Chains A and B, each alone.
Chain A
Amino acid sequence: MPLATLVTMLASLPLLSGLVRGDQWWLPAVVLMTVVALVSAAYRSLVNGSLAVPFLQLFAVVLVYAPLFAPQTAALGFLPTLETLDHTAALFEQGMHTIDSDTPPVSPTPGLNAIIALTFMVFAMTADFLAVTARCPGMVGGLLLALLVVPLFVDDAGVSWGPAAISALGFLALLAVDMWARGREWGAPVASGPRLDARYDGVAGRVGLAAAVAVLAITLALLLPQVVPSLRTDALYSLAADSRFGGNDSVTTTHPMVSLRRDLGATSERTVLTYRTDDEDPEYLRTFVLDEFDGENWTMTPVHAGRDNGADGDLPPPPGRDDEPAEDDLVTTRISLDSDTAPMDFLPLPYPARSVEISGDWYVDESTLMVFTTEPPPSGYNFVVTSAANRPASQDLASAGPPRSLDDDRLDLPGDLDARVGELTASLIEDADSEYEAALALQEFFIGGAFTYDLSPPQVPEGSDPLTHFLFEDRIGYCEQYAGAMAVMARQAGIPARVAVGYTAGRPSGEDRWTVAARDAHAWPELYFEGSGWVRFEPTPSDPAGGQGTASRPDYSAGEDDRQDDVVPESESAEAPEPSASPDADSSPAPDTGASPDQGSDEAAGATEDTGAGAGARESPTWPAGVGIGLVLLLSAALPALIRALLRGVRRSAVAAGGPTAAHAAWRELRDTCLDLGTTWDLGETPRTAAGRLSSMGATGLSEEARNALWRLALAEEAARYAPEPRTVPGLAGDLDTARAALIGAATAGWRWRALLLPPSLAPWRRPRVAAKPLLTLP
């Protein structure tokens, strides 16, 4: 058993193969698991007991651990020392960091390997306890499930067939070995003679049961997710949520940078969303704002959902803007998220959004205008967003005063920042007359050619700061590094800055239509200028060969000299307007939106239609839920009937096949029919007695024909049971049908329905037994 458990656990290793690069990471895990299993097997074969097994296992692991992970710290080559402990802590830190910062598949650092190996070691010990000590090998399935959940959660690609099948086979092997071991404890199997029919029946019953369980499980797995969200939008639920949490929900989400890396890493053309807008040069679609820098990463201040910040109606005004956006300055964008995309709990919106029409409960963060939900978002939905143009004139930016209406923390930087960064910033902006010029200078620093755009930059060496490494060492990175570095340097230059994460405008895919793919995922800095609010800059190169291909630089951020170079090459889509290419579209977007009022009204009509569609989409989760519940109910209702029909079919074919088992099959079917119809079946009755009793069923007894059929069935069964050499009796199938029909005909309608829908013969507790007649009470 311990070795079978080991095989099972080893078979579960491939589950992680999609998450870790290379093929060395599993080696320590294999070693540790083998040690655990061998200790268990050896101890159990020597000593009759299992109390000491976990302790011995731990002891053995400790001995193996040091040479495996920290050979240089071990005394005598294997004895762990205090230094080993320190090393282990460092390893764990490194491993956790790898898990936090890298996207799957991650590189196998020693720390990660240690974490994986120790996790598997703990799992192997638990599995050993469950399968061998507790003799519940089925419970090991729970451990495997836990392992399976890891890749499902972390990796969008999920688990491929191969590893899943291997681990499932490993589990089945464990169960089989357990059954075999249990069987062996009972001694050699008894050859019980030609009980073919019983076996036949048993197999049919077991197959039927297994099929039923499988169908039910699959059905539930498919339909339950459809049902559950609709339960959660229940008014009762929101009421309870409000009262319980005081209407103030903290929101957590996947770290934006991780999902960004994931999107960029998958260089696929997978469509994330499509949208329609009349803006010829649409804004980026911003999903997250990262406004805190911890020295290494940009993170998001936690946002809160409450009754006072619902996203219905007009959104709060964009901070820092003097002008209230004019009515005709608004751009309407209708966004459809692709249903294949992972559900988004933060909406991708052009900044600054003024209002959002979307179903469900959504909240807005006042300072960043992020719109988010606390519920599990549906995958694939439509919404309409109205946003103001955000193209301040260069001179407005240049003349912006010091930030007034803003928290100071948008300038915060950790104190231990490398001094070289500050020096670099100072040298870059020494010629700048205003903060605007400083911002331009910083941007120019990044797009000037000194940096290389690469989606998979080389690993940052252990111990060195990613920011300084990017700025001073290799200068290789992608939008995350560009945006993060520029935001840090902007803060050093005294300009409030933050990092926005989301998507570029994507590529035009027809009139007014735009398509945003996964590889359009992007990060960019947003800088704050008093009077104009937050405006975006673009330090990432937009060259499709060596940059973010769909990135664009707004006019105000494009310097005088590189305005012409800044054309985003959109060679493959000539018929559609380029994001920032056409010089006439550059001048001002305001006239554009106002230029075609009729088109605008069309759009408005379209918008209403779309809202209708949105409403439809809102209901759509409920109708599949309804249908799902119905289907589940129907299926569960029909399941007993199906199993019963299956069993009947098997027996009928056995009857038709003839031979000594035919009579048994026919008799069993007759028995189950009687049980289904609520007629008792006494094991103390001989076939003849039973036939005689059944013949008198119903108000007037059965017909002559049915009686004879019953009688023939009984005699055939009797001969099959007791005669020295039973032989085939012809016509049993016909007799069975006649007898069944007569019995069903004699039953009441209620019992007939019950026999069809809820056949009691399937219930083990309704199985026939000897009538428990007490001896001392007699007629």
Chain B
Amino acid sequence: MSLGTQHDGHGGGVQEDVGTVAAVADRVRDAIETVIEGKPDVLRIALTVLLAEGHLLIEDVPGVGKTMLAKALGRAVDCSVQRVQFTPDLLPSDITGVSVYHQDRNEFEFNPGPVFANIVLGDEINRASPKTQSALLECMAERQVSVDGETRALERPFMVVATQNPSDMEGTYALPEAQRDRFMARVSVGYPSPQAELDMIDSHGSRSPLESLAPVTNAGEIRDLVERVQHVHVAPGLRRYIVDLVNATRTAPELKLGASPRATLHLVRAARAHAALEGRHYVVPDDVQALAVPVLAHRLLPGPEAQMERLSAEQIVAQLVARLPVPGPR
């Protein structure tokens, strides 16, 4: 599906705004593609989440480039990037930072943790204890850190890119549903195609291409883009469509747990960003459909029947999308 075609209408200021968004996003995309090849869909979702001010959960088997994707994203945008390798013994203060007492000055000094960055890469988040996980997730939701009774706002843009191995792997603590809900989207990188893997041998053989990746934009520009994305138009019919879709996950007999109202908000925001990425100043159902699985599936719990049928949450969401009539002419 080629979604790259731009609509040739012109929407005045909004249209120019989203034109800028698309241009910047294209630059970022091109830059990252020098590192991660053959994964345009994953890249698009990542950018969408960035522009929608969400957090991204990348879930896949080890070694497919989860960390590489997150790093490349941080590199391409000239902003602060922090990486936290989650281990079972990681403490919450290792993420948020600690106040250290300075004897000479007789006061506490706050040493900010890795969460104080524009892009935080939480590697193998499911290896940490639930206590530590929840510390990060709190920051994600509130975009602030409270240490010793003092609240410190986090920088914007703030995006957590967490990676996790499938929970059936050894030594992992699967994220509880409540916490998965805070991620705007979940993507799987998946194995590269044979051709992409061949190219990878060439490009990664001598040295990591990540090092040659030059930033193509900065945090300030991204803030600006995020602001513009807010103005993308969502037709009333489409709002209804989104609500219907989320509602369908709650009523579908195959699902034990449906999507939350937060999921609705996430879907709307993501759809706006997705439209802006394509240079459109209004959302179309295709945006919603393209985002439905990444945004909704990780929040859902398939019921026993679906499990018996070996239906994944992704498959169920895809079917719900296929069955829901798109909003027709006004």
A718 to B275, CA, bound (A): 13
Contact B319 A722 (CB under 8 A): no
* With known contacts A723-B281, A775-B319, A686–B286 Cβ distance under 8 A: yes
Contact B322 A771 (CB under 8 A): yes
Tell me the A94-122 residues at the B interface (CB within 8 Å).
none
Contact A684 B282 (CB under 8 A): no
A193 to B322, CA, bound (A): 28
Output the least CB separation between A510 and chain B (Å).
73
Output the least CB separation between B220 and chain A (Å).
28
B325 at the interface (CB under 8 A from A): yes
A195 to B325, CA, bound (A): 18
Contact A194 B330 (CB under 8 A): yes
Nearest neighbor of B322 in chain A, beta-carbon distance: A684
B284 at the interface (CB under 8 A from A): yes
A491 at the interface (CB under 8 A from B): no
Output the least CB separation between A133 and chain B (Å).
39
B315 at the interface (CB under 8 A from A): yes
B285 at the interface (CB under 8 A from A): yes
Q: Could you say which residues of chain B place their CB within 8 Å of the CB of A727?
A: 9
A198 at the interface (CB under 8 A from B): yes
Contact A770 B324 (CB under 8 A): yes
Interface 9-residue window, one of B25-33, B180-188, B232-240, B256-264: B232-240
Contact B325 A775 (CB under 8 A): no
Q: Could you say which residues of chain A place their CB within 8 Å of the CB of B320?
A: 775
Contact B5 A776 (CB under 8 A): no
B9: contacting residue among A664, A683, A719, CB under 8 A? A719
Contact A715 B329 (CB under 8 A): no
A692 at the interface (CB under 8 A from B): yes
A195 to B311, CA, bound (A): 40
A176-195: contact bitstring with B at CB < 8 Å (1 yes, 0 no)?
00000000000000000111
Contact A683 B326 (CB under 8 A): yes
Q: Could you say which residues of chain A place their CB within 8 Å of the CB of B306?
A: 776
* With known contacts A688-B286, A711-B5, A778-B311, A721–B328 Cβ distance under 8 A: yes
Nearest neighbor of B12 in chain A, beta-carbon distance: A725
Contact B281 A684 (CB under 8 A): no
Q: Could you say which residues of chain B place their CB within 8 Å of the CB of A198?
A: 329
Q: Could you say which residues of chain B place their CB within 8 Å of the CB of A667?
A: 329
* With known contacts A684-B321, A715-B7, A689–B281 Cβ distance under 8 A: no
Contact A770 B325 (CB under 8 A): yes
A724 at the interface (CB under 8 A from B): yes
Nearest neighbor of A769 in chain B, beta-carbon distance: B325
Output the least CB separation between A707 and chain B (Å).
11
B305 at the interface (CB under 8 A from A): yes
Most A C-beta atoms less than 10 A away, residue of B253, B306, B320, B330: B330
- What is the size category of the interface that chain B forms with chain A? 35 or more
Q: Could you say which residues of chain A place their CB within 8 Å of the CB of B329?
A: 195, 197-198, 664, 667, 717, 720-721
Q: Could you say which residues of chain B place their CB within 8 Å of the CB of A720?
A: 329-330
Nearest neighbor of B9 in chain A, beta-carbon distance: A719
Nearest neighbor of B232 in chain A, beta-carbon distance: A724
Contact A778 B315 (CB under 8 A): yes
Tell me the A706-736 residues at the B interface (CB within 8 Å).
711, 715, 717-725, 727, 729
Output the least CB separation between B257 and chain A (Å).
16
A772 at the interface (CB under 8 A from B): yes
A723: contacting residue among B233, B322, B325, B327, CB under 8 A? B233
A773 at the interface (CB under 8 A from B): yes
Q: Could you say which residues of chain A place their CB within 8 Å of the CB of B326?
A: 683-686
* With known contacts A683-B325, A686-B326, A688-B1, A723–B254 Cβ distance under 8 A: no
Tell me the B1-26 residues at the A interface (CB within 8 Å).
1, 3, 5, 7-9, 11, 14
Most B C-beta atoms less than 10 A away, residue of A193, A715, A717, A729: A715
Contact A724 B325 (CB under 8 A): no
A27 to B139, CA, bound (A): 90
A55-98: contact bitstring with B at CB < 8 Å (1 yes, 0 no)?
00000000000000000000000000000000000000000000
Contact A722 B283 (CB under 8 A): yes
Output the least CB separation between A704 and chain B (Å).
14
Contact A723 B11 (CB under 8 A): yes
B323 at the interface (CB under 8 A from A): yes
A664 to B329, CA, bound (A): 7
A706 to B253, CA, bound (A): 42
Nearest neighbor of A777 in chain B, beta-carbon distance: B309
Contact B325 A684 (CB under 8 A): yes
Output the least CB separation between B113 and chain A (Å).
43
B316 at the interface (CB under 8 A from A): yes
A724 to B322, CA, bound (A): 25
A720 to B7, CA, bound (A): 12
* With known contacts A776-B254, A778-B315, A722–B323 Cβ distance under 8 A: no
B287-330: contact bitstring with A at CB < 8 Å (1 yes, 0 no)?
00100000000000000011001010001100111111111111
Contact A724 B323 (CB under 8 A): no
Nearest neighbor of B312 in chain A, beta-carbon distance: A778
Contact A686 B323 (CB under 8 A): no
Contact B319 A686 (CB under 8 A): no
Q: Could you say which residues of chain A place their CB within 8 Å of the CB of B252?
A: 775
A721 to B9, CA, bound (A): 13
Nearest neighbor of B329 in chain A, beta-carbon distance: A664
Q: Could you say which residues of chain A place their CB within 8 Å of the CB of B284?
A: 686-688, 718, 721-722
Contact B327 A721 (CB under 8 A): yes
Q: Could you say which residues of chain B place their CB within 8 Å of the CB of A193?
A: 330
Q: Could you say which residues of chain A place their CB within 8 Å of the CB of B14?
A: 724
Q: Could you say which residues of chain B place their CB within 8 Å of the CB of A692?
A: 1
Output the least CB separation between A571 and chain B (Å).
81
* With known contacts A776-B254, A778-B315, A778-B319, A722–B282 Cβ distance under 8 A: yes
A657-680: contact bitstring with B at CB < 8 Å (1 yes, 0 no)?
000000010010000000000000
Contact A776 B309 (CB under 8 A): yes
Output the least CB separation between A214 and chain B (Å).
30
Tell me the B237-257 residues at the A interface (CB within 8 Å).
237-238, 252-254
A117 to B7, CA, bound (A): 73
A772 to B3, CA, bound (A): 26
A684 to B324, CA, bound (A): 5
A683 to B3, CA, bound (A): 20
Output the least CB separation between A688 and chain B (Å).
5
A778 to B253, CA, bound (A): 16
Nearest neighbor of A717 in chain B, beta-carbon distance: B329
Nearest neighbor of A685 in chain B, beta-carbon distance: B326
Q: Could you say which residues of chain A place their CB within 8 Å of the CB of B254?
A: 775-776
Q: Could you say which residues of chain A place their CB within 8 Å of the CB of B233?
A: 722-724
A738-779: contact bitstring with B at CB < 8 Å (1 yes, 0 no)?
000000000000000000000000000000001111011010
Contact A723 B286 (CB under 8 A): no
A200 to B57, CA, bound (A): 48
Nearest neighbor of B327 in chain A, beta-carbon distance: A721
Contact A686 B7 (CB under 8 A): no
Nearest neighbor of A663 in chain B, beta-carbon distance: B329
Q: Could you say which residues of chain B place their CB within 8 Å of the CB of A772?
A: 323
Q: Could you say which residues of chain A place their CB within 8 Å of the CB of B321?
A: 684
Nearest neighbor of B236 in chain A, beta-carbon distance: A193
Nearest neighbor of A721 in chain B, beta-carbon distance: B329
A717 to B329, CA, bound (A): 8
A733 to B305, CA, bound (A): 50
Contact B7 A719 (CB under 8 A): yes
Q: Which residues of B contact A (CB under 8 A)?
A: 1, 3, 5, 7-9, 11, 14, 233, 235, 237-238, 252-254, 281-286, 289, 305-306, 309, 311, 315-316, 319-330
| Other contacts beyond A667-B329, A686-B286, A721-B235: 9, CB < 8 A | A193-B330, A195-B329, A684-B324, A721-B330, A722-B238, A724-B14, A724-B281, A775-B319, A776-B254
Sampled A-B contacts (26; CB under 8 Å): A195-B330, A198-B329, A667-B329, A683-B328, A684-B322, A684-B323, A684-B324, A686-B284, A686-B289, A687-B284, A689-B1, A692-B1, A720-B330, A721-B328, A721-B330, A722-B282, A722-B284, A723-B9, A723-B282, A770-B324, A771-B322, A773-B319, A775-B253, A776-B305, A776-B306, A778-B319
Report the 8 A-B pairs with minimum CB-CB distance, sorted nearest first.
A683-B325, A724-B233, A722-B235, A686-B285, A664-B329, A723-B282, A686-B286, A684-B322
